[in-house]
Amino acid sequence: MAKNKKIVKFKPLYHLNIAVIVSAILLIYLGFHVISYLTRKNIPIYEVQAGTIAQNNHYQALAIRSESVINTDHKGKPFYYAQNGTTVGVMSDAYALDDTGTLVDKMNSASTSLSDVNDKDLSSLQESLSSFVQNYDPNTFSKAYTFYSDLSDSMNQTFHLNTAAQFEDQIQSAENAGTYHKYKSAGTGYLLFSLDGGEGLTVDNFTEDSLNDSYKVVDLRTTEEVEEGKPIYKLVTSDNWNLIMKINDATKQRIGDSKNIRIRFDDDQAETICGVNYIEKDGNTYLNLELNDSVERYAAERLVSIELILDKQNGLKIPNSAITEKDFFVIPKEYFLQGNDSDKRGLMVVSGDTDTFVTPTIFYETEDSLYIDNESVKADDEIRLPDSIKRYRVGTKTGKLKGVFNVNKGYAIFNRVEVLFQNNDYSVISSGTAYGISLYDHIALDGKDVSENEIIH
């Protein structure tokens, strides 16, 4: 008889694998941080540096002078005695008009040469040429064209006057016959035989378009025959003149309340000091520079290129994007006291039958007030004057401050800034400002993306 064998099946034992559990925990942990990193708010940080802001202080300024346009009272062919661009007096011969034009044609066609020039005039021409050669700068080659034009004009005028001397007898005869009319200067001043259309401009009547116009210079000497009542020349009758330019708020801020400013003329790098005032017109701000010299050098130019020589603003350089504004309660100083064994200034906030002493953070201080936020007090809270029943309601007066968010401690703290100068990208702010920031502080790059006390990663 066979043996009865009973087979018993055992359920398999499941053993915990610690490595799998640890790996799962690590994966969950890493996944959490990856998701947190991808979804968290990223605040770019900027380290405060010392610096200045480069500013383009070059302007094309509108020249406004005291100018008189002189018209003829006769018709005729002109002959010019005065040299263009020279100072004349009331006894100086300016020009003449020939009724028939015959005599002027003879004088214009007469041949002249350097041998006809007297020693005095020739010496003057040689001195001008020698001075230019000695002071020539290849970096300002454009001056050579100006000098060439001036020298040619001077030589032509010298030849012109020598020719007139040769025809002195014929001129006298024509004057006696009433066909040749010689005119003295209408006044003392700087004489120019040209017009540009801006002679009527004044400090009161200029417009924004006046600074942008393309002034076309008309040489009056090219006219073969002058009609009665037409312009023949103009006189700049005063050494006092003005330069007008449109400026922005930043430039006005840099100039401030200065009564005088130094400028440099781009053409010859000459410098001068002039008076300063501002003109507000049609929503624009114009700088009005008042000069009492150099008018003769630029009498023929309506638009003058200059540079304002302004002191550089030194301080802490920060991006404009970091600057934001915050609202504050403005509390009279008299309501602050020191208490609770602390040197911090605080307020007695009225709460029912008891008072609570709080020490709010102070963000700015004026002569009679302190600026605080709503961290310790709320709008409409009442504070009590020490040792008095007099009360003040928080929020009665508020104010805005410009500032940045300091993140040195890992969370955002508002610090006030004083902007000294600003361009499109950066601001230079005052260093050592009370309740402000310091060199190498870390601030939020974009102040509008940060909230007070926000944790910064």
The model's confidence at residue 49, banded by pLDDT at 50, 70 and 90, is very high
250 φ/ψ angles, rounded to the nearest 5 degrees:
-65, -45
Among the residue ranges 21-25, 229-233, 296-300, 364-368, the one predicted with the least confidence is: 21-25
Query: What would the mean pLDDT of 138-163 be, rounded to a whole number?
Result: 60
18 φ/ψ angles, rounded to the nearest 5 degrees:
-60, -35
Residue with tokens 């994966």: 27
CA distances from 163 to 63, 160, 332, 448 (A): 36, 5, 87, 79
Sign of CA dihedral 179, 185, 191, 194: negative
Residues 290-341 pLDDT 10s? 999 989 888 989 999 999 988 777 789 999 999 999 999 999 999 998 766 6
The model's confidence at residue 83, banded by pLDDT at 50, 70 and 90, is confident
In 32-92, beta strands by DSSP E: 45-47, 49-51, 58-64, 67-71, 77-80, 86-88
Among the residue ranges 164-168, 229-233, 269-273, 300-304, the one predicted with the least confidence is: 164-168
**Residue 296 CB contacts under 8 Å (≥ 6 apart), including other chains:** 85, 87, 190, 236
Q: Is the pLDDT of residue 432 over 60?
A: yes
The model's confidence at residue 421, banded by pLDDT at 50, 70 and 90, is confident
Measured at the alpha carbon of residue 442, what is the angle toward residues 437 and 448, in degrees to the nearest 5? 85
In this predicted model, which residue has the larger pLDDT, 7 or 244? 244
In whole angstroms, give the CA distance from residue 93 to residue 81. Answer: 6
What's the pTM value of the predicted model, to 2 decimals?
0.59
Residue with tokens 């009370």: 434
Q: Is the pLDDT of residue 39 over 60?
A: no
The model's confidence at residue 117, banded by pLDDT at 50, 70 and 90, is low
Residues 444-457 pLDDT 10s? 999 998 888 888 86
Residues 256-288 pLDDT 10s? 888 999 999 988 888 999 999 999 999 999 999
For 248-265, b where at least 16 C-beta lie within 10 A, e where not — what string? eebbeebbeeeeebebbb
Query: What would the mean pLDDT of 350-369 be, rounded to a whole number?
Result: 89
